Amino acid sequence: MLALPVVASGVAAAAPQPIEYVALGDSAAAGPLIPDQDTAQLGCLRSNHNYPSVVAADLGARLTDVSCSSARTVNLTDVPQSTVGGPVARQIDALGPTTDLVTITSGANDFGLVTTALSCVNPLPQPTGFSCRDRFTKGGQDQQVAQIDAWAPAWGAMLDRVRERAPQARVAVIGYGTYIRPGGCPGTQPIWPQDADYLQSVIAHMNAAMAAQARSRGVEFVDITAATAGHDICAEPAGAYYTGVVPGELAVPLHPTALGMRAIGAHVAQQLR
């Protein structure tokens, strides 16, 4: 039997309460198809081995994970999300005055990052096909950057709502990582070099926009760009943190692998410890 700590008065001290941790976000947090999937909400394609679960185990926290694949920022704050398993409540409803820690990975679906990435796929070598970089920057305006800049205030407003619902919580926005290395790997993944660089630059701009919104509100931003570098979709499957266009394991293309979730979770926990 474990003995309770005793204070000088001879009264047993109360055991410390675990951290009340709530994870919000989209598929980059949820971990679609990564074993084992949460059977309580199959429509969210949420793994119980995603990065929030790693963070919770590392910090000894009690986790409430409401991340859900395909979630947009509006599903965090205002609109229940429709899934194949039925509607899912607003993620913000999981927060409360006793929440101690909140992590958020959200924003990529607001401007269709995965759709953008898939539009950069060219199965044939140059010059056959079309460059997504050229298409998105035609006329001298970067359409993707413009969309991110337009969405940034909505991300900031979402953070305000989170702070209102969980006023005592430590809130951390978790960025998106290094999905593809400079120049890509055309022999392995069907994306031209200039398009690989463009795609990662869009992710970098999204991270910067999110970081600016977070820091202007005193909210932490955890950048995982360096922590995931070298483990992108061009890496050997044994060391890849993200799946390629054609996944090498059970995971959704262009999403974290099980190994990636463990690495991201360990990095996030280290930053929050």
pLDDT-above-90 percentage for the chain: 87
For 165-191, write each residue's pLDDT tens digit: 999 999 999 999 999 999 999 989 999
Structure tokens at 126: 């140059």
- Domain holding 75, by residue range, is 19-272
pLDDT at 10 over 70: no
Is residue 145 domain-resident? Answer: yes
Domain assignment present for residue 8? The answer is no
Percentage with pLDDT > 70 across the chain: 95
For residue 2, being part of any structural domain is answered with: no
Residue 14 lies in a domain: no
Helix (H) / strand (E) containing 8: none
Query: Is 27 among the catalytic positions?
Result: yes
Candidates 67, 70, 106, 255; catalytic one:
255
pLDDT for 7 beyond 60: no
From CA 233, how far away is CA 261, in angstroms rounded?
14
Can you say whether the dihedral through the CA atoms of 143, 109, 91, 15 is positive or negative? negative
- Catalytic one among 9, 27, 53, 231? 27
Told to judge if 267 belongs to the known catalytic residues of this protein, a careful annotator would answer: no
Residue 246 included in any domain: yes
The pLDDT value given to residue 247 = 73
Instruction: For residue range 132-170, list pLDDT tens digits in order.
Output: 999 999 999 999 999 999 999 999 999 999 999 999 999
- Could you report the per-residue pLDDT of 196-235, keeping only the tens digit for each? 999 999 999 999 999 999 999 999 999 999 999 999 999 9
Total domain count for the chain?
1
Rounded CA-CA distance 186/192 in Å is 6
